[in-house]
């Protein structure tokens, strides 16, 4: 159940473990949904078990959720790897790691997120999907902090708002850190 980090690891190496469960947490409430249920949903458009119940309660169309799970984004592996190791990339990863992080190891959220994003990119197609991300996540249980996720959703009413949230806000934080280096993104040593 260890977190496999990307430090010096070739991009083609598989993580020590893959996410087996998404653990949704809010206060003392905790529910686990197997990643295999998300894979079934993506493949068939039908949500089994607790995932099906959650979608019904949330009034979500399983076919639309399946389409989101199957959607992929083409990302150049080298560029993503380099970007995630810049100050801007670190700021974005830190924001994501407040919502999604390894269960019982929240401090490993940033390296786990970086690893899953880089290792989740398909080497043949150069694309990343939700499922390829989960298959590459280096911990068996991925915690989803429901209050933090809901706060993000309130701030981001559209994809454009979401993109602004993750790009402009970290830039604002960097401007305060280093006025002279404003707008520059340099890789960490």
What does the mean pLDDT of the chain come to? 79
In the prediction, which pLDDT does 94 show? 92
Tell whether 182 is covered by a domain.
no
> In this model, does residue 3 exceed pLDDT 70?
no
Q: How many angstroms separate the CA atoms of 112 and 126, rounded? A: 20
In the prediction, which pLDDT does 47 show? 95
In the prediction, which pLDDT does 122 show? 87
Tell whether 184 is covered by a domain.
no
> In this model, does residue 49 exceed pLDDT 80?
yes
In the prediction, which pLDDT does 152 show? 79
Tell whether 16 is covered by a domain.
no
Tell whether 156 is covered by a domain.
yes
25-29, 61-65, 183-187: lowest mean pLDDT where?
183-187
In the prediction, which pLDDT does 160 show? 60
* pLDDT tens-place string over residues 141-175: 999 999 998 887 777 665 566 566 555 554 444 44
Q: If phi over 0 gives left and psi between -120 and 50 gives alpha, with beta otherwise, what is residue 155?
A: alpha
Tell whether 110 is covered by a domain.
yes
Query: Which structural domain, as residue segments, surrounds residue 61?
Result: 21-177
State the total domains in the chain: 1
Tell whether 67 is covered by a domain.
yes
Give the alpha-carbon dihedral of 44, 45, 48, 53, to 10 degrees: 180
Name the nearest CA neighbour of 35 among 137, 104, 149: 137
Tell whether 14 is covered by a domain.
no
* pLDDT tens-place string over residues 86-123: 998 998 899 899 999 998 888 999 999 999 999 999 88
Provide, for the chain, the percentages of residues in helix, strand and coil under a 3-state DSSP scheme, each rounded to the nearest 5.
50, 15, 35
Q: Are 69 and 130 in contact (CB under 8 A)?
A: yes
Tell whether 2 is covered by a domain.
no
């Amino acid at each position: 159940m260890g977190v496999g980090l990307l430090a010096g690891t070739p991009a083609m190496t598989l993580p020590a473990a893959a996410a087996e469960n998404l653990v949704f947490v809010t206060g003392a409430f905790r529910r686990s949904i197997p990643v295999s249920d998300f894979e079934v949903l993506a493949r068939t458009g039908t949500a089994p078990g607790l995932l099906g119940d959650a979608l019904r309660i949330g009034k979500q169309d399983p076919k639309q959720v399946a389409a989101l799970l199957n959607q992929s984004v083409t990302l150049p592996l080298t560029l993503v790897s380099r970007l995630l190791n810049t100050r801007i990339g670190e700021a974005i990863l830190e924001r994501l790691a407040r919502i999604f992080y390894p269960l019982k190891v929240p401090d490993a959220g940033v390296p786990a997120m970086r690893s899953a994003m880089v290792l989740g990119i398909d080497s043949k197609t150069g694309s990343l999907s939700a499922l390829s991300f989960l298959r590459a996540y280096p911990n068996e249980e991925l915690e989803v902090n429901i209050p933090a996720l809901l706060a993000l959703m309130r701030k981001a009413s559209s994809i454009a708002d979401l993109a602004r949230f993750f790009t402009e806000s970290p830039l604002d934080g960097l401007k305060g850190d280093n006025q002279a280096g404003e707008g520059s993104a340099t890789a960490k040593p």
